[in-house]
Amino acid sequence: MKHGPNALIDEKLPVVVINTKEDGNANSVLRYEKTHSNIVEVKSRDGIIISVLTEGDTMSSKVSSHVIEIP
């Protein structure tokens, strides 16, 4: 997410994010970290974040407004 999409984010816009990861899979962890960075960016603009996360995720759940956990 860069420039244009970021300009649309405000306290009224819900953003749905799927940010799951598979521990031990380097590509999965890298994607997770980059997506987490996007979640933090949305949060800094007061956006409403609805995250679908791997069960037990503490990092992205802390900055999400609502969390749906999957195994």
The predicted-structure confidence for 3-25, as pLDDT tens digits, reads as follows: 678 888 889 989 999 999 998 99
| pTM for the structure as a whole | 0.88
Q: Is the pLDDT of residue 50 over 90?
A: yes
Domain ranges of the chain: 20-70
Cβ atoms of 53 and 19 within 8 Å: the answer is: yes
Cβ atoms of 54 and 70 within 8 Å: the answer is: yes
